Amino acid sequence: MRDRAGRATLLLPGVLVTATASVLAGVAVTAPAPLPGLPDSDVVRVGLPVVRLLLDAVGIGAVGIGVLGWLLRGERRASAIAATAQRAGVVLGAVWVLTALMLIWWQAAELSPNRLGLRVRELAEYSAQVSSGRALLVTAACALAFGVLSLVTTRSRTVPVELPAVAALLGVVALPLTGHAAGSAGHTPAMLATAVHVLAAAAWVGGLLAVFVLVAPHRALLASVLPKFSRLAACCLAAVAVSGVVSATVQLAVRVDRPLLDALSGTGYGWLVIGKTVLLAGLGGIGAQVRFRLLPELSPGASARSRLVLAGWITAELLLMALAVGLGTALGRAAPTEVGWGIAEVPTR
């Protein structure tokens, strides 16, 4: 059992490397220009999206811990796994706080002529006056609450398992809501679509990751938990797809003065949207394969071959999710504009 848990954990670096490669490719496609009047910095241009990806990844992991707490409710012999998840939540909460504070520094550096050597006063002004800086402070507060609540749940059963999940969900949605959707003409539908998209994606990706790492090594529990998660994943897939279409349509229609299909094929932003759409279709296909062909064969006494096939499909799903998360992070820094390639997609603040 420990060997299986170890193999599942070994997948995490691969997922993170895949997501990092994806976000860097996305940044290369959109090619954001240096902000006017500020010196160019390759370190900031490359490092900032990577740190943002790390923030997203830790937040998704925290949401996954919260989702797992819900999935394990009423399950026998799940107390040890729940305790492990809660301890992991404490660690994730601490890392999440530090990552949010680090991203404030990187984002402030992007707007400072001093770059990464910016002064404390500049950092304080960014945190107080810029919407994304304030949003990151909210994220840090939610991350701290998530870590503290996870710690409390390890010592007391009086705290509802939903509370850490709520803190995590609030934490992941704070920063995206200050992005392009907040400044678009279709403000209300864009904001709503962004919130639904981020929350559903975090629950889907984080939940699958938590199930694969913490539950998959336990055959009997996996046979009970995975069908529950499959139903949740189907709802998340639908929510991600619909909200993604609404969000992309609003962004391209408002910011690019050309037909929608031309905007899709004529901007780096549009190509990232196409890439995410293809990945989402692939994820839907894998999800259907798991739900309708593999789950009916899953039982505590399933053969080693059946379990290996299931693990292979879930691994492929997680890697596709990593690619999609990376492209999503790149999209968060790219604004659709008339210029398609190379110079004009400057992030909004």
The pLDDT assigned to 348 comes to 37
| Residue 163: both structure tokens together | 């509370």
- Range with the poorest average pLDDT among 45-54, 275-284, 312-321, 327-336: 327-336
| Separation between Cα atoms, residue 151 and residue 157, nearest integer Å | 11
Would 207 be classed as within a structural domain? yes
* Residue pointed to by tokens 């409390």: 152
Q: How many CA atoms lie within 13 A of 193 on its CB side?
A: 21
The pLDDT assigned to 342 comes to 33
Would 315 be classed as within a structural domain? yes
Please report, for residues 107, 211, 246, 261, the alpha-carbon distance to residue 315 in angstroms, rounded to integers and kept in the order given.
Answer: 33, 12, 29, 33
Encoded amino acid at 111, one letter: L
| Separation between Cα atoms, residue 317 and residue 338, nearest integer Å | 34
- The per-residue pLDDT for range 196-238, each reduced to its tens digit, is 999 999 999 999 999 999 998 888 898 899 999 999 999 999 9
The pLDDT assigned to 86 comes to 93
Q: What CATH number is associated with residue 178?
A: 1.20.1630
Number of folded domains in the chain? 1
Please report, for residues 207, 219, 280, 284, the alpha-carbon distance to residue 273 in angstroms, rounded to integers and kept in the order given.
Answer: 24, 38, 10, 16
| Separation between Cα atoms, residue 198 and residue 210, nearest integer Å | 18
Maximum CA extent, the chain: 66
Cα angle 105-110-115, degrees, rounded to a multiple of 5: 75
Please say if the pLDDT value at position 258 is more than 90. Answer: no
The pLDDT assigned to 49 comes to 94
Q: Catalogue the E-assigned strands of 36-88.
A: none
| Separation between Cα atoms, residue 171 and residue 136, nearest integer Å | 9
Could you tell me if residue 337 is left (phi over 0), alpha (psi between -120 and 50 degrees) or otherwise beta? beta
Would 8 be classed as within a structural domain? no
- Range with the poorest average pLDDT among 6-20, 92-106, 263-277: 6-20
Mean per-residue pLDDT of the chain? 86
Reported confidence tier of residue 5, pLDDT bands at 50, 70, 90: low
Encoded amino acid at 56, one letter: D
Would 336 be classed as within a structural domain? no
- The per-residue pLDDT for range 56-92, each reduced to its tens digit, is 999 999 999 999 999 998 887 888 999 999 999 999 9
Would 123 be classed as within a structural domain? yes
The pLDDT assigned to 132 comes to 92
Q: What does pTM read for this prediction?
A: 0.90
Domain span at residue 173 reads 15-30+40-331
- Check residues 348 and 152 and name the one with the higher pLDDT: 152
The pLDDT assigned to 287 comes to 93
| Residue 328: both structure tokens together | 């999503």
The pLDDT assigned to 7 comes to 58
Q: Do the Cβ atoms of 108 and 137 come closer than 8 Å?
A: no
Please say if the pLDDT value at position 156 is more than 90. Answer: no
Please say if the pLDDT value at position 340 is more than 70. Answer: no
DSSP 176: G
| Residue 286: both structure tokens together | 């894998």
The pLDDT assigned to 313 comes to 92
Reported confidence tier of residue 155, pLDDT bands at 50, 70, 90: confident
- Check residues 251 and 173 and name the one with the higher pLDDT: 173
| Separation between Cα atoms, residue 15 and residue 9, nearest integer Å | 10
Would 4 be classed as within a structural domain? no
The pLDDT assigned to 347 comes to 38
| Separation between Cα atoms, residue 126 and residue 93, nearest integer Å | 23
Q: Do the Cβ atoms of 347 and 46 come closer than 8 Å?
A: no
Would 185 be classed as within a structural domain? yes
| Separation between Cα atoms, residue 347 and residue 33, nearest integer Å | 9
The pLDDT assigned to 104 comes to 95
The pLDDT assigned to 252 comes to 82
| Separation between Cα atoms, residue 115 and residue 207, nearest integer Å | 37
Would 115 be classed as within a structural domain? yes
| Separation between Cα atoms, residue 83 and residue 218, nearest integer Å | 15
Cβ neighbours of residue 220 closer than 8 Å, sequence gap 6 or more: 77, 300
| Separation between Cα atoms, residue 103 and residue 52, nearest integer Å | 7
Reported confidence tier of residue 349, pLDDT bands at 50, 70, 90: very low
- Check residues 240 and 255 and name the one with the higher pLDDT: 240
The pLDDT assigned to 306 comes to 79
The pLDDT assigned to 339 comes to 36
Q: Annotate 295-314 with DSSP letters as a single string.
A: GGG--TT--HHHHHHHHHHH
The pLDDT assigned to 300 comes to 65
